[in-house]
Structure 1
């Protein structure tokens, strides 16, 4: 965990490629000595690190961090104003095609459904010999997801509500399929990755775009059945 790739760093901010299963910050449910991203990056850089936005522990990929409270405030405002462009990669059940999910999703804190919007685009589809919930020869797809809102588990909820469950999602997804894929490939993680982040640098005004390479495991899962590719 101490070897966290730093994708970009200047005197104001930095972007890192967060490993899977690593929380961004400490919470009350963690052991006192448990690792978390801001702590580890602080140890690597020798600086105080300030969190700017949320990324679930189970999701890997690009995370933007600030090196001062004022920079954290300015960057957080961009997320609140929804001017930051985010692209995720997910391995999902089925073949969604392309379009927009506009269904409301559950807000865990409010206990009710709230508006949410996510663009999606299928990049590749393969057919497997797996069966789940009455469907045989299930397809798996690599999908790009671009959320316009930042709701709790928005991408996971949107995919699950349309039966395009994200592989490895043990809260909203298809548990049977998750188990079958783990048995076949050994994969045991949420297949959701924050691939790209685009924002404006608060000091220079430059358009910043940073990308974290897709986890090799995503391709390894697809390669297991790629010989019968259908797209």
Structure 2
């Protein structure tokens, strides 16, 4: 299956990564042969170099380099945090209209058979700015509440820590819908019953702005929402609480 290419030149390719697809094959998913890198290798007939990553369940803007030196230059921009990343997510509850989550993130112990816990001394600064775009109240009970509240938020993380947005919104008690790791099982279960059993992590990398390593021009590339997220937002709009 071909990928939706948002931008392509001799140095770069930017795609709208579908949810459920790995960026590249990893030891954690040895049985998976399908990934963005492999698809693009076949689709473009040339090798591609991954620059950054998105979680498997996250959709949206993903940039790859077509040359090794370009990959190095782009990687430096991500390391220096000079890129501008904007995400959209559907979260539990009603966050404030504008906010900043300043909460250092530590590595998590991921040993099999043990409860996940933070490894002391591994904390790194992590800051995420957000604004609430829409609020929804659905006449469906969830947990101890008579109605379900959800919000569409736009998020601009300053860093790119592992699971930064997911962990930050869990920290402020507004976990992402469909998040099986940090999310609310009650909301996820209700939405699977009333909307779709195929509910996934509702997180989309909406846009990415960076400097082209060769031309030095500023590129700002936006990816449309994947159909399942668009469908869910449409469903929420059609099911008001009143």
Q: TM-score, normalised by structure 1?
A: 0.93
Q: Is 1:108–2:119 an aligned residue pair?
A: no
User: How many residue pairs get matched?
Assistant: 229
In structure 2, the gaps of 5 or more residues are 110-117
| CA deviation string 1:169-189 (max 9, x = no partner) | 000010111011011111421
Cα shift at 1:107: 2.4
Q: Distance between the aligned counterparts of 1:116 and 1:33, measured in 2?
A: 31
**Partner of 1:223: helix, strand, or coil?**
helix
Q: Of 194, 197, 221, which aligns to 2:232?
A: 221
Runs of 4+ in 1 over 4 A off after TM superposition: 227-230
Superposition pairs for residues 172-211 of structure 1, below 5 Å? 172-186=182-196, 187-211=198-222
User: Matched residue of 1:127: which SS?
Assistant: strand
Would you say 1:13 and 2:24 are equivalent positions? Answer: no
* 8 A Cα contact 2:25 2:32, kept in partner: no
Distance of aligned partners of 1:128 and 1:113 in 2 relative to their CA distance in 1, 3 Å threshold = farther
- The offset of 1:23, in angstroms, is 0.8
Give the conservation status (yes or no) of the 8 Å contact 1:95–1:141.
yes
Matches within 5 A, 1:162-173: 162-173=172-183
1:78–1:84 CA contact under 8 A, matched in 2: yes
Secondary structure of 1:29 counterpart? helix
Q: 2-side partners of 1:8 and 1:119: how far apart?
A: 27
Kept after mapping to 2: 8 A contact 1:125/1:229 = no
In the TM superposition, residue 32 of structure 1 has moved relative to its aligned partner by 5.2
**Stretch of structure 1 that moved more, 70-79 or 209-218:** 209-218
Structure 1 spans left out of the alignment, 5+ residues: none
- Residues 155 and 33 (structure 1), Cα distance of their counterparts in 2 relative to 1, 3 Å cut: closer
What secondary structure is seen at the aligned counterpart in 1 of 2:29? Answer: coil
Kept in 2: contact 1:128–1:228 (CA 8 A): yes
- Which stretch shows the higher mean deviation, 170-179 or 97-106? 97-106
Residue matched to 2:153: 143
Q: Deviations over 1:34-53 (max 9, x none)?
A: 10111101100001010001
Do the aligned partners of 1:107 and 1:151 also contact (CA within 8 Å) in 2? no
**Aligned residue number for residue 98 of structure 2:** 98
Q: CA RMSD in A?
A: 1.8
Give the corresponding residue for 1:49: 48
The equivalent residue for 1:38 is 37
Cα separation, 2, equivalents of 1:206 and 1:229? 45
Distance 1:169 1:162, change over 3 A: same
Q: Normalising to structure 2: TM-score of the pair?
A: 0.89
Alpha-carbon distance in 2 for matches of 1:34, 1:49:
16
